[in-house]
Amino acid sequence: MAVEQGHVDVDLDNDIDKVVDEELAAKEVIAGGDGSSSKRKPKKVHRQSSKENVVASGFIHGPRSWKNSRRSRNGYGRGLPKKGGAGGKGVWGAPGSELLETYEDVNDPNFDNENLSNGDIELKAIVPDVSHEEIKKKVDPIILEYFENGDTHEASIAIAEAVPKQYRDVLVEQVIEVSMDHKPSHREMTSVLISDLFGHVISETDITKAFQSLLANLSDLILDIPDAPTFLGNFIARAIADDCIPPKFITITKEKSDNEVFQEALSRADTLLSMKHGLVRLHNVWGVGGALRPVKALTRQMNLTLQEYISSRDIEEASRCLRNLEVPHFHHELVYESIVMALEANNVQVEEALCNLLKAFDAAVLITPEQMERGFLRVFDDLPDIQMDVPLAYIILDRFVDRCHKEGFLTDKIIEKMPNRGRKRFVSEGDQQFIKNHKTS
């Protein structure tokens, strides 16, 4: 409609100019006669406004209301929109003006202050909020990998990259909680990791917050880990021995709760620190690693485990004790000690109990077939020496091997290597009856 209005205004101006020119021509003809001999002189015509022209030409009103016209009121202009459509309130601007826009938002992540003259821009690091569950998911793979390789340097680099500084207490809490459900050697590795990370990755405040959080959640931890109070007390005492937290931590924390489990863990730590040479002994609070133990100590421990089993007949407890030794490569020693104990006992009930124990270990793959075979072959090789202490060793061994073979966990290869008794001798009638009773019993 604006374009049609402009065309109407232009036609109206042309009509007005035409009428004015005709009137001037008529006046000159009247003044100069026929006008053939006289020469017309150009006369300047003053341009009047549109409204005056309309009145002079006989128009009373324009073709439409003048207030709606885009034509300039002073007589100039072509009736086009002002500023090419970029003028006025609430308009989008001229086409292409968005390409020349120089306004920049300082809160825009892509904002570049090099184009500004002052350059007084303060950059702030934005750290996204992370939940404790997300932190624990990131920490778990790092902990398990550390338990495999034992490299504290690699673990510290991975932790520094994955865990922000404000969440390092959650890291310590998760490491301790995961190690509680693993072997004693892993708990020893956890104490070493906390000591190595202290000072450059974690601080005293982080360790203190972690222990306080674990003590507060100890009632829930004890449901899954019955020995959680003992373990946590060991960790607290070991951290104090390693100078990671001050000794006053126990005294200050005891006043915060009267919970029985809470006090049990702190009393455990206080007892370990109060014993003679406690700080030195705490370096072995988790025991020595399985492969680092002396052979005699491992043999004595296995012997005690077998004696306890003979008294209680608790296979699960014996299995737990064997796993805690963490020497799967040395399980053939348990087989050896079991057979020797059966030979020395010379008792059918003891032989049956030890046979059931070896069968349970074989079924649970706690003792591999290779370790089982190696244990029996060691007894076969040492049988001449054993016979010096146990005269009926060949007869009892024959009976025990036959019982184990019937249970199904001895291979034919072991049976074929069963040693013979050697040269037979003439025995008296009394000796023959004694041997016969052992074979039938």
By mean pLDDT, which of 4-8, 9-13, 126-130, 413-417 is the weakest? 4-8
**In terms of C-beta density within 10 A (0-12 exposed, 13-18 middle, 19 or more buried), how is residue 188 classed?**
buried
Render pLDDT for 55-70 as a digit per residue (tens, 0 to 9).
Answer: 444 444 555 555 555 5
When comparing pLDDT for 101 and 123, which is higher? Answer: 123
The share of the chain scoring above pLDDT 70, in percent, equals: 66
Q: What is the pLDDT of residue 262?
A: 86
Q: Which one, of 12, 30, 10, lies nearest residue 20 by Cα?
A: 12
Do 279 and 295 fall into the same domain?
Answer: no
The stretch 100-127 carries a mean pLDDT of 65
- Work out how many domains the chain is built from and give that number: 3
Q: Which one, of 376, 439, 378, lies nearest residue 410 by Cα?
A: 376
Q: Answer whether residue 115 is part of any domain.
A: no
The DSSP secondary structure of 364-415, one letter per residue, reads: TTSS-HHHHHHHHHHHHHHHHHHHHH-TTHHHHHHHHHHHHHHHT-S-HHHH
- State yes or no: pLDDT of 325 exceeds 80: yes
Q: Answer whether residue 306 is part of any domain.
A: yes
Do 338 and 252 fall into the same domain?
Answer: no
Do 307 and 276 fall into the same domain?
Answer: no
Q: Answer whether residue 103 is part of any domain.
A: no
In whole numbers, what is the pLDDT of the chain averaged over residues? 77
Residue 4 — pLDDT band, cuts 50, 70, 90?
very low
305 lies in which domain range?
291-440
Q: Answer whether residue 187 is part of any domain.
A: yes
Residue 334 three-state SS: helix
Render pLDDT for 11-55 as a digit per residue (tens, 0 to 9).
Answer: 555 555 665 566 666 555 445 545 444 445 555 545 544 444 444
Task: List C-alpha distances in Å: 110 to 15, 106, 115.
Answer: 60, 9, 13
Do 189 and 300 fall into the same domain?
Answer: no
When comparing pLDDT for 298 and 123, which is higher? Answer: 298
- State yes or no: pLDDT of 391 exceeds 60: yes
- State yes or no: pLDDT of 71 exceeds 70: no
The stretch 350-363 carries a mean pLDDT of 92
* Both structure tokens of 233: 């007390």
Q: What is the pLDDT of residue 424?
A: 45
Residues 399/438, Cβ–Cβ less than 8 Å: yes
Residue 198 three-state SS: strand
* Both structure tokens of 284: 């072995």
- State yes or no: pLDDT of 8 exceeds 50: no
- State yes or no: pLDDT of 6 exceeds 50: no
By mean pLDDT, which of 99-103, 284-288, 387-391 is the weakest? 99-103
The stretch 393-401 carries a mean pLDDT of 90
Q: What is the pLDDT of residue 413?
A: 84
Residues 397/354, Cβ–Cβ less than 8 Å: no
Q: What is the pLDDT of residue 334?
A: 92
Render pLDDT for 284-316 as a digit per residue (tens, 0 to 9).
Answer: 777 655 555 678 888 888 999 999 999 989 999
Q: Answer whether residue 258 is part of any domain.
A: yes
Q: What is the pLDDT of residue 66?
A: 54
Domain boundary among 284, 307, 335: 284
- The rounded distance, in Å, linking the Cα atoms of 85 and 79 is 12
Do 330 and 314 fall into the same domain?
Answer: yes
- State yes or no: pLDDT of 429 exceeds 50: no
Residues 206/168, Cβ–Cβ less than 8 Å: yes
Q: Answer whether residue 315 is part of any domain.
A: yes
Do 259 and 398 fall into the same domain?
Answer: no
Do 220 and 295 fall into the same domain?
Answer: no
Q: What is the pLDDT of residue 51?
A: 47
- The rounded distance, in Å, linking the Cα atoms of 190 and 192 is 5
Domain boundary among 234, 268, 284: 284
Q: What is the pLDDT of residue 205?
A: 92
**CATH number of the domain that residue 358 is part of:** 1.25.40.180
Q: Which one, of 257, 230, 244, 252, lies nearest residue 201 by Cα?
A: 244
Residues 360/316, Cβ–Cβ less than 8 Å: no
Q: What is the pLDDT of residue 59?
A: 46
C-alpha dihedral (142, 148, 151, 154), degrees to nearest 10: -30
Do 298 and 354 fall into the same domain?
Answer: yes
One-letter identity of residue 321 = C
Q: Answer whether residue 107 is part of any domain.
A: no
Please write down the long-range contacts of 54-62, taking CB distance under 8 Å and 24 or more positions apart: 54/12, 54/16, 56/16, 56/20, 57/15, 57/16, 57/19, 57/20, 62/12
Task: List C-alpha distances in Å: 5 to 50, 77, 91, 300.
Answer: 14, 14, 21, 113
- The rounded distance, in Å, linking the Cα atoms of 173 and 69 is 79
The DSSP secondary structure of 336-351, one letter per residue, reads: HHHHHHHHHH--HHHH
Render pLDDT for 254-291 as a digit per residue (tens, 0 to 9).
Answer: 888 778 888 899 999 888 888 876 666 777 777 655 55
Rg of the chain in Å (alpha carbons): 52
Domain boundary among 284, 309, 341: 284
Residues 269/236, Cβ–Cβ less than 8 Å: yes
By mean pLDDT, which of 116-120, 188-192, 195-199, 374-378 is the weakest? 116-120
- State yes or no: pLDDT of 111 exceeds 50: yes
Do 311 and 356 fall into the same domain?
Answer: yes
Render pLDDT for 199-231 as a digit per residue (tens, 0 to 9).
Answer: 888 999 999 999 999 999 988 888 888 889 999
Residue 440 — pLDDT band, cuts 50, 70, 90?
very low
Do 238 and 378 fall into the same domain?
Answer: no
Do 194 and 274 fall into the same domain?
Answer: yes
Q: What is the pLDDT of residue 184?
A: 84
Q: What is the pLDDT of residue 138?
A: 85
Q: What is the pLDDT of residue 358?
A: 93
- The rounded distance, in Å, linking the Cα atoms of 114 and 121 is 10
Q: Answer whether residue 296 is part of any domain.
A: yes
Do 298 and 434 fall into the same domain?
Answer: yes
The stretch 345-365 carries a mean pLDDT of 91
